[in-house]
Amino acid sequence: MLEFESEQKIIQIGNIKLGGQPGENPIVMIGTVFYAKHAGLLDEKTGKIDKNLIEQELNEFTELIENTQLQGVIDVVGAYPEALVKECEFIANNVEYPFLVDGLNDFSRIPAMERLKEIGLLNRAILNSIDGNTTDENLQRLKEIGVKNAVLLTFGNKYIFPKQKLKFLKESLIPKAQKANIDNCIVDTAVLDLPSISINFETTGLVKKVLGLPTGFAPANAIYGWSFAKKYGENARCGAIASIMAYCASAPSDFILFGPIKFAKCIIPAISLISGVNSYYRKRILRKNISERTSLKAIF
C-alpha cells in the first residue's frame, strides 16, 4: 500500500474532494454522456437529447455513487458550443455533481465555458482539457473568463513514457495552467491503447510522488473496443471492463474516467471495494485520518 512522502494536494470542486493520499478520499468516478452513438443524443448540432433516457442513466449513477459512498463527476461531450452548453445545463439541473466540459477542441470548449459563466455554472465546470495544442491566445481567454478548474492532458507523440509525461507536465502544461490562472489542476495521464495502460499506471504514481497533484486516466476507449472479451459474452466483457478500471484505481488514481455512464453498475461496486480497503489500511494500519465520506462505512 502506498503512502506518498510528498504532500498530496486535495482540491474541492462543487461537492467533491479530489486527490490526497490513497484511501484518504473516495475515488471519483467519471461517467460520460452524449458521446458518439449514445442513444440519449438525438442531434449533436442542436443538443437535442432523450431526456427520459438520460435521467434514467443519471438516476442509476447517482444511486450507485450514494450507496457506495464514492464520488461522482459527469463527463459531458459535445462538438458544438451551443449544444455543449445546453447539455451541461441539463446535467447541472439534474445532478449536484461537477461536470467535465469535454468539447472536441477549443473552438467548442472555450465558448461553452464563457456561456457557462454567464448562466452561473462555471464553479462546477471542469475544462477538459489544457494540452499541447492550447495556444497562448486561448489561455488568455480562459483567464479572462475566470476558468478555475481544468484537466491537464499529457498527450503527445514525444511524451509516451512516464518520465517524458512528467517533464511535459512540469515544463509545458503546468506553466500553461498558471498562465490561465487555473486554481484546480487535474492530471490525465493520457491512454494510448490497451496494452500501454501499464505506462499510465506507472505515470500516475510518478506524478503523485513528484508533484502531488490529483491524477488518473481514462481506460474507457481502449477497453470498450477490445474484441477479445466480446466473443465470450456480456458477463465476460463486464468482468474485463471492471478489471481494467480496478487496475486504474490501484495505480493509485484519484479519479477514473470509466466511459459510458450506462456501464456504471458494472464498474462502480468493484471500485468501491478498492476504495474501501484502501481507507481501511490508511485508518487501521497507518493510523491516519480518512474522509467522513468513505466506502469503508458503506459497503462492509
Q: Give the pLDDT confidence score for residue 1 in this predicted structure.
A: 55
Within a domain: residue 132? yes
CA dihedral for 265, 266, 267, 270, sign (positive or negative): positive
Within a domain: residue 11? no
Neighbours of 181 (CB within 10 A): 15
* Counted domains in the chain: 1
Query: pLDDT tens digit string along 28-51?
Result: 999 999 999 999 999 999 999 999
Within a domain: residue 75? yes
Within a domain: residue 22? no
Within a domain: residue 21? no
Within a domain: residue 137? yes
Amino acid code (one letter) for 123? N
Within a domain: residue 249? yes
Strands 184-188 and 28-33: unpaired
pTM of full prediction above 0.95: yes
Count Cα neighbours of 157 within 13 Å in the Cβ-side half-sphere. Answer: 1
Amino acid code (one letter) for 5? E
Query: pLDDT tens digit string along 128-160?
Result: 999 999 999 999 999 999 999 999 999 998 999
Give the burial string for 196-211 (b: 16+ CB within 10 Å, else e). ebebbbebbbbbbeeb
Query: pLDDT tens digit string along 263-284?
Result: 999 999 999 999 999 999 999 9
Domain that holds residue 171: 27-299
Q: Residue 71 belongs to a domain with what CATH number? A: 3.20.20.20
Within a domain: residue 20? no
